[in-house]
Structure 1
Amino acid sequence: MSDIKFTKDETDRIVSHIKKYFNDELDQEIGGFEAEFLMDFFAREIGPVFYNRGLSDARDIFAAKAEEIGYLVEELEKPVG
């Protein structure tokens, strides 16, 4: 897996959420630089866990849909003999 990269807009929104969380929940001010550093840390250290969970969920959905398609194809089979 390559490093997680965010667009400027995504970074700005995430940093804003981190700053708001620190202010509202921890009653602490955090600067933009510190919030972005924290975001990078979580993306690097925890991001792969969420990424892998997303892949696992996608794999499960794909398997369920593939099974469903298998049943639909069987229904299309014509009787022989």
Structure 2
Amino acid sequence: MAIELPKDLRQQAIASIERYFAENMEERIGNVAAGALLGFFLEEIGPAIYNKGVLDVQERLQTRVSEIDLEVHEDEFQYWRRFEKARRGKS
């Protein structure tokens, strides 16, 4: 699965790469080279980051699913207990 960025995010990422080179490297990088570098990162490193994000979400969902019984649990056969408690309260 190829990781694609929407056009506006891709442009922002390219501008960020250009700025990084301008401020931190001895050479500037052009728009085309920055786009190629971004493409390389998306293809080579992007899947590792994406997969980590998916794993994080799976872990959170599994935790939530395992706790759902605590949130929605109802004790069974409570009618008579409530009935007896209400009867004692009237006496």
TM range (shorter): 0.7 to 0.9
- The count of residues paired between Structure 1 and Structure 2 equals 79
Displacement over 3 Å in runs of 4+ = none
Q: State the distance in 2 between where 1:36 and 1:10 align.
A: 12
| Higher Cα radius of gyration | 2
The unaligned stretches of length 5 or more in structure 1 are none
With structure 2 as the length reference, what TM-score do the two structures score? 0.78
Q: State the distance in 1 between where 2:16 and 2:26 align.
A: 14
Q: State the distance in 2 between where 1:66 and 1:29 align.
A: 50
- Root-mean-square deviation (CA, aligned residues, Å) is 1.6
The unaligned stretches of length 5 or more in structure 2 are 81-91
Amino acid at match of 1:78: E
Partner residue, 1:25: 24
Q: State the distance in 1 between where 2:24 and 2:43 align.
A: 24
